C-alpha cells in the first residue's frame, strides 16, 4: 500500500499542532506502508511565504515533495473576507474568496495530487480549512481520507466544507466532540469515522530533579506549555492566577514554556522559561504539580495528553468542549468555566496530594489505553484495510457534489458562519452524545 | 475551610466538579451567574466610571419640568406646518392654504405635538433616573460582592494560619526532666526556691524597667504640654496610672489632677520652672530605678 500525507506545512522544525500531528502520523505509518508527504514551501503559517525550496527532500527518512505557494496572505483582505463570511449573509463566491485569501494557495500542489493519484492508494489530508484540503479532496475524492483537526471556531460554519465532509472516504477525528460537531454541521453520519487522535513521543524516563536543578526551580509550580497567546487563553490565565495568588493561601508558581506573543505580567510567582528542548519540556511537566490548559479552542490537546502520559493532572478550560470531554472521559483532570472554579480546582489539586496522584494515575491509564502509538497506528491501518476491502467490492463513497453555477455562486443566500457554529450542539460528548446540560446539572 | 475526602482509587471528575460548584455556591451565597456578574462589571466600567456623564442637577431639572408641564417648546403653528425653505413652494402653499384646510384640521396635530414633546422629555429624564439608579445599585452590589470575597479571603487566610500554627505546635517537642533532678528531690526543691527568688528579683527588675519605659513613652506628651504652658495637662499625663490614688482623696482646689492629688514628682514639675530643672537630682542606688526619669525631667 502506498500513501500520501498532504499537509499545509511540513518539517522537523515546524511544531504547529496539525503539522506536528501530521509528521508524527506520517513517521509512524511509514513503518508499515510506503508513504510520501506532499506539502508547500511555506514555513510561516501567517504569511505562507515560500521559505523552503520546492522539490523533494528527506525528512526523518520520509520523502517530502514541496510545491510553491501562489501568493502570500494579505492580512487586510483576509480580515475583510473573514468578516463578510463569518458575520454576514454571503455567497459561495465569498467563501471561495475567503479560502483563497486564507492560504496557503498552492494550485501546483493540487495539480500534483491529481496527476499522481494513480500512484497512491490513498491520500490523507490534514486540516480541513485550508486550500490544499478543499481542492485536494475535490481532486481525488475516492482516495481521500481527512484528518479535519477542527475546532469550534466560525470556519466550521462555512458551507463550502460540508460537501468535503460528506465526500471523503473516511474521517479520522481527534475527539468525540469534533466528530459530533462535524456530523451536526454536515450530516455525514454515513461516512466512516474513527476517533483516533495522536500519540506523543514521551520518553520512558524523565528526570524532574534535573529540570529543577538546571533552571533553578525550587518551589512547587503549575505549568503551561504552548504558545503564550491571547487566543490560547493565556491572558485569562494570567488574570486568574494573579487573583488566585492574592486570594488563596498558596505558594504555587506558574511556569510558562513556549514562545511568547503576549506580554507576561512581571510577578515573582510567574516564571517564563522560554522555549525548551523536548527533554527539558518533559522533565518540566513531570516536575509540575499540575498542567494548566487555558485554551478555548482545541481539537486535541497534545500537551494535555503528554501530561497524562507522565502521570500529572490537568486543569483545563471547561469552555473548550474537547478539553472538558477529555477530562471527564479520562477522570484525569479538573476544569473551570470561571475564576471561582479555577481557584477552587487549582487549590484542590495543589493541596490534596492524594487526589492529584489519583488524577495522574487515571491520566496515565487513559493515555496508554487510547493514545499510545501502537493503538493509533492500529486504528489507521484498520481503516485503510477496511477501505481496501470496500474498493475490492467496488463500493465507493458518494460522488462529490458539484459546485453551483456562476450565478448561483454569487447569490447571497448563505447564513453567517458564526451563526451556524452557534447552532451546533455544544458540550462534551459522553458516550457519543453531547451533554452540556448534564454537565451543568 | 471544609476539605473533601476522596479515595484515590475512585476519582470521579464530574462529582468533584459538583462538589467544587457546590462549595462556590456556598461561598458566594447569591444566585448571580458568572455571566450576570460579568455584565454587571461591564456596566460599572462602561457607564459609571465616566463621571462627566453623570448629571448632578438631574433632580432639579426634573422638578423644573414638573412645574412647566405641557409648556410648548416647539412652535408648531400654521407657518411651520405650511412653510418651506423654498419660496415658490411657500407661496404656492399660502395660496392653496384655504383649500388644504378643507382636507385637514391642523390644530389637534399641533397640540399633540406639544404633548408628545413633553412626554419625550419626561421619558428621557425617567430613563436617566432609572438608569442611574440601576448603575448605582449595580455598583453597590459589586462592592458588596467584593467585600464578601475579601472577607472570605481573610477567613481562608486565617484558617490557613491557624492550621499552620497548629502544625508548628505539633512540631515542638516536650523535653522531660533530667535524671539528676528526679534523683534528688530536696536539691531540686532548693534549686526551685533559689530560682523562684531569682526570678522574683528579676521580675522586680523587669517591672521597674517596664515602668521606666512607660514613663519614657509618655514623655512626649509631657513635653508637648510643658511647651504649650499647660502644666496641669503635663502633670496629668506624667502621672503613672498604677500610682494614682483613688478618686476623691485629692485636694478640692487642685484642678491639675481632678480630685486626686498629684504624686510628688508631678508636684516638682508644676512647681519648678523648666530652666531650673536642667540638672537632675542625685540618685541613690536603691531608689533610682523607682523614680521615672520621665517624671523628673519632662523638659529634657
What is chain B's Cα-based Rg? 43
| pLDDT tens digits, one per residue of A328-339 | 989 999 999 989
Tell me which residue of A210, A287, A209 sits closest to A255, measured CA to CA. Answer: A287
- A-to-B residue pairs, Cβ atoms closer than 8 angstroms: 64
Listed range (A50-59, A119-128, B123-132, B210-219) with the worst mean pLDDT: B210-219
SS3 A335: strand
Strongest mean pLDDT among A140-149, A401-410, B118-127: A140-149
Residue B173: which region, alpha, beta or left (left: phi > 0; alpha: psi -120 to 50)? beta
**Residue B71: its pLDDT value, please?**
52
Listed range (A76-85, A347-356, A431-440, B152-161) with the worst mean pLDDT: A431-440
Name A375's Cβ contacts closer than 8 Å, sequence gap at least 6. A199, A369
**Which residues from A are below 8 Å from B14, CB to CB?**
328, 439
Closest residue in A to B151 (Cα–Cα): A247
Alpha helices per DSSP H over A187-233: 208-215
As a whole number of angstroms, the distance between CA B86 and CA B201 comes to 113
**Which residues from B are below 8 Å from A331, CB to CB?**
11-13
What are the beta bridge partners of residue A37? A5, A64
If you search the block for the grid coordinates 493540487, which residue do you land on?
Answer: A110
Taking 70 as the threshold, does the pLDDT of residue B275 lie above it?
Answer: no
**Residue A306: its pLDDT value, please?**
92
Q: What is the mean pLDDT of residues B173-190?
A: 54
Taking 80 as the threshold, does the pLDDT of residue B196 lie above it?
Answer: no
Tell me which residue of A34, A32, A29, A23 sits closest to A60, measured CA to CA. Answer: A23
Q: What is the average pLDDT value for chain B, to the nearest integer?
A: 61
**Per-residue cell: A389:** 476491502
**Residue A255: its pLDDT value, please?**
94
- Architecture per CATH, domain A2-199+373-426, reads as 3-Layer(aba) Sandwich (3.40)
Check B14 against A345: CB less than 8 A apart: no
Residue A4 contacts residue A36 (beta carbons within 8 Å)? yes
**Which residues from A are below 8 Å from B21, CB to CB?**
341
**Residue B278: its pLDDT value, please?**
38
Q: Give the ipTM.
A: 0.77
Residue A329 contacts residue A322 (beta carbons within 8 Å)? no
Strand A55-59: give its sheet, edge to edge: A55-59, A62-67, A34-40, A2-6, A122-126, A144-147, A170-173, A193-195
**Per-residue cell: B167:** 502544625
Q: Could you tell me the CA-to-CA distances from A418 to A77, A89, A158, A410 in Å, in that order?
A: 19, 11, 9, 20
What are the beta bridge partners of residue A173? A195
Q: Does domain A208-370 have CATH number 3.40.50.150?
A: no
If you search the block for the grid coordinates 477530562, which residue do you land on?
Answer: A327
Check B8 against A247: CB less than 8 A apart: no
Give ranges for CATH 3.40.50.2000 in chain A: 2-199+373-426, 208-370
Q: What is the mean pLDDT of residues B115-144?
A: 79
More confident: A403 or B121 = A403
Q: What is the mean pLDDT of residues B122-151?
A: 82
More confident: A113 or A278 = A113
| pLDDT tens digits, one per residue of B205-239 | 444 444 444 444 444 443 444 344 443 444 344 44
More confident: B195 or B150 = B150
Cα-Cα end-to-end distance for chain B: 55
As a whole number of angstroms, the distance between CA A59 and CA A43 comes to 14
% of chain A with per-residue pLDDT over 90: 65
Beta strands, E only, A279-420 = 290-293, 314-317, 333-336
Taking 60 as the threshold, does the pLDDT of residue B73 lie above it?
Answer: no
Q: Which of B5, B18, B20 to mutate to test the interface with A (most CBs of A within 10 A)?
A: B20
Residue A223 contacts residue A292 (beta carbons within 8 Å)? yes
User: Which of A249, A348, A357 is closest, CB to CB, to B160?
Assistant: A249
Q: What is the mean pLDDT of residues A401-407?
A: 87
Listed range (A35-39, A396-400, B230-234) with the worst mean pLDDT: B230-234
Taking 70 as the threshold, does the pLDDT of residue A296 lie above it?
Answer: yes
Taking 60 as the threshold, does the pLDDT of residue B242 lie above it?
Answer: no
Q: How many Cβ atoms from other residues are within 10 Å of residue A54's Cβ?
A: 16
Q: What is the DSSP string of A238-264?
A: HHHHHHHHHHS----EEEEES-B-SPP
Gap from B37 CA to chain A (nearest CA, Å): 11
**Residue B171: its pLDDT value, please?**
77
**Residue B297: its pLDDT value, please?**
36
Tell me which residue of B85, B76, B82 sits closest to B98, measured CA to CA. Answer: B82
Distance of CA B33 to the CA centre of its chain: 29
Q: What is the mean pLDDT of residues A304-325?
A: 92
Q: What is the mean pLDDT of residues B79-83?
A: 79
Q: Could you tell me the CA-to-CA distances from B106 to B78, B95, B109, B160 in Å, in that order?
A: 8, 17, 5, 79
Q: What is the average pLDDT value for chain A, to the nearest integer?
A: 89
Largest CA distance in chain B: 136
**Residue A361: its pLDDT value, please?**
92
SS3 A315: strand
Check A247 against B12: CB less than 8 A apart: no
pTM beyond 0.90: the answer is: no
Q: What is the per-residue burial (b if ≥16 Cβ within 10 Å, else e) of A23-53?
A: bbbbbbbbeeeebbbbbbbbbebebbebebe
**Residue A221: its pLDDT value, please?**
93
**Residue A246: its pLDDT value, please?**
85
**Residue A293: its pLDDT value, please?**
95
Domain definitions of chain B by residue range = 42-163
Amino acid at each position: 500500500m502506498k500513501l500520501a500525507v498532504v499537509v499545509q506545512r511540513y518539517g522537523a522544525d515546524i511544531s504547529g499542532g496539525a503539522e506536528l500531528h501530521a509528521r508524527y502520523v506520517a513517521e509512524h505509518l511509514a513503518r508499515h506502508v510506503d508513504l510520501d508527504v506532499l506539502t508547500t514551501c511555506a514555513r510561516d503559517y501567517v504569511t505562507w511565504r515560500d521559505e523552503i525550496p520546492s522539490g523533494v527532500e528527506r525528512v526523518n527518512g520520509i520523502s517530502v515533495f514541496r510545491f510553491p505557494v501562489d501568493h502570500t496572505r494579505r492580512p487586510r483582505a483576509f480580515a475583510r473576507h473573514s468578516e463578510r463570511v463569518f458575520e454576514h449573509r454571503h455567497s459561495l463566491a465569498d467563501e471561495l474568496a475567503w479560502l483563497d485569501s486564507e492560504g496557503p494557495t498552492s494550485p501546483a500542489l493540487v495539480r500534483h495530487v491529481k496527476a499522481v493519484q494513480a500512484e497512491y492508494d490513498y491520500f490523507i489530508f490534514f486540516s480541513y480549512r485550508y486550500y490544499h484540503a478543499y481542492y485536494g479532496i475535490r481532486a481525488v475524492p475516492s482516495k481521500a481520507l481527512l484528518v479535519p483537526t477542527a475546532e469550534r471556531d466560525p470556519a466550521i460554519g462555512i458551507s463550502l466544507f460540508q460537501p468535503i465532509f460528506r465526500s471523503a472516504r473516511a474521517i479520522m477525528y481527534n475527539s468525540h466532540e469534533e466528530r459530533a460537531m462535524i456530523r451536526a454541521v454536515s450530516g455525514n453520519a454515513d461516512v466512516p469515522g474513527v476517533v483516533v487522535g495522536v500519540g506523543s513521543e514521551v520518553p520512558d524516563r524523565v528526570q524532574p530533579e534535573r529540570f529543577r536543578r538546571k533552571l533553578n526551580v525550587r518551589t512547587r509550580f503549575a505549568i503551561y506549555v504552548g504558545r503564550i497567546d491571547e487566543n490560547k487563553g493565556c491572558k485569562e490565565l494570567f488574570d486568574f492566577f494573579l487573583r488566585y495568588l492574592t486570594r488563596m493561601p498558596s505558594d504555587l508558581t506558574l511556569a510558562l514554556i513556549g514562545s511568547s506573543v503576549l506580554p507576561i505580567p512581571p510577578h515573582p510567582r510567574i516564571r517564563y522559561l522560554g522555549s525548551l528542548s523536548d527533554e527539558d519540556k518533559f522533565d518540566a511537566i513531570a516536575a509540575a504539580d499540575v498542567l494548566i490548559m487555558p485554551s478555548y479552542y482545541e481539537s486535541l490537546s497534545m500537551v494535555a495528553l503528554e501530561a497524562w502520559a507522565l502521570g500529572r493532572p490537568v486543569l483545563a478550560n471547561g469552555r473548550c468542549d474537547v478539553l472538558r470531554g477529555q477530562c471527564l472521559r479520562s477522570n484525569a483532570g479538573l476544569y473551570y468555566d470561571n475564576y471561582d472554579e479555577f481557584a477552587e480546582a487549582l487549590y484542590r489539586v495543589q493541596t490534596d496530594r492524594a487526589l492529584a496522584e489519583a488524577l495522574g494515575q487515571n491520566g496515565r491509564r487513559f493515555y496508554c489505553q487510547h493514545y499510545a502509538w501502537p493503538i493509533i497506528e492500529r486504528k489507521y491501518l484498520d481503516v485503510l484495510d477496511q477501505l481496501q476491502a470496500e474498493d475490492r467490492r467496488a463500493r465507493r463513497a458518494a460522488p462529490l457534489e458539484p459546485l453551483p453555477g456562476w450565478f448561483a455562486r454569487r447569490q447571497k443566500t448563505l447564513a453567517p458562519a458564526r451563526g451556524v457554529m452557534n447552532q451546533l450542539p455544544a458540550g462534551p460528548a459522553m458516550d457519543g452524545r453531547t451533554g452540556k446540560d448534564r454537565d451543568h446539572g | 475551610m471544609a476539605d473533601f475526602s476522596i479515595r484515590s482509587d475512585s476519582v470521579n471528575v464530574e462529582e468533584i466538579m459538583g462538589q467544587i460548584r457546590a462549595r462556590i455556591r456556598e461561598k458566594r451565597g447569591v444566585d448571580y451567574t458568572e455571566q450576570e456578574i460579568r455584565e454587571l462589571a461591564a456596566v460599572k466600567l462602561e457607564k459609571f466610571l465616566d463621571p462627566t456623564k453623570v448629571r448632578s442637577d438631574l433632580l432639579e431639572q426634573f422638578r423644573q419640568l414638573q412645574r412647566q408641564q405641557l409648556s410648548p417648546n416647539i412652535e408648531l403653528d400654521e407657518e411651520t406646518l405650511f412653510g418651506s425653505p423654498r419660496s415658490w413652494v411657500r407661496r404656492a402653499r399660502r395660496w392653496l392654504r384655504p383649500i388644504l384646510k378643507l382636507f385637514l384640521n391642523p390644530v389637534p396635530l399641533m397640540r399633540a405635538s406639544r404633548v408628545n414633546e413633553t412626554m419625550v422629555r419626561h421619558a428621557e429624564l425617567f430613563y436617566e433616573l432609572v438608569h442611574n439608579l440601576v448603575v448605582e445599585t449595580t455598583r453597590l452590589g459589586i462592592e458588596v460582592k467584593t467585600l464578601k470575597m475579601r472577607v472570605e479571603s481573610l477567613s481562608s487566610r486565617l484558617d490557613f494560619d491557624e492550621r499552620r500554627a497548629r502544625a508548628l505546635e505539633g512540631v515542638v517537642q516536650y523535653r522531660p526532666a533530667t535524671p539528676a533532678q528526679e534523683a534528688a528531690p530536696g536539691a531540686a526543691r532548693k534549686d526551685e526556691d533559689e530560682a523562684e527568688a531569682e526570678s522574683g528579683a528579676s521580675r522586680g527588675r523587669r517591672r521597674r524597667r517596664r515602668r521606666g519605659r512607660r514613663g519614657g513613652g509618655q514623655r512626649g506628651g509631657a513635653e508637648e504640654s510643658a511647651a504649650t504652658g499647660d502644666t496641669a495637662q503635663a502633670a496629668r499625663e506624667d502621672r503613672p496610672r498604677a500610682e494614682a490614688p483613688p478618686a476623691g482623696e485629692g485636694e478640692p482646689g487642685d484642678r491639675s489632677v481632678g480630685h486626686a492629688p498629684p504624686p510628688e514628682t508631678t508636684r516638682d514639675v508644676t512647681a519648678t520652672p523648666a530652666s531650673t530643672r536642667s540638672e537632675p537630682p542625685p540618685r541613690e542606688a536603691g531608689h533610682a530605678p523607682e523614680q521615672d526619669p520621665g517624671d523628673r525631667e519632662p523638659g529634657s
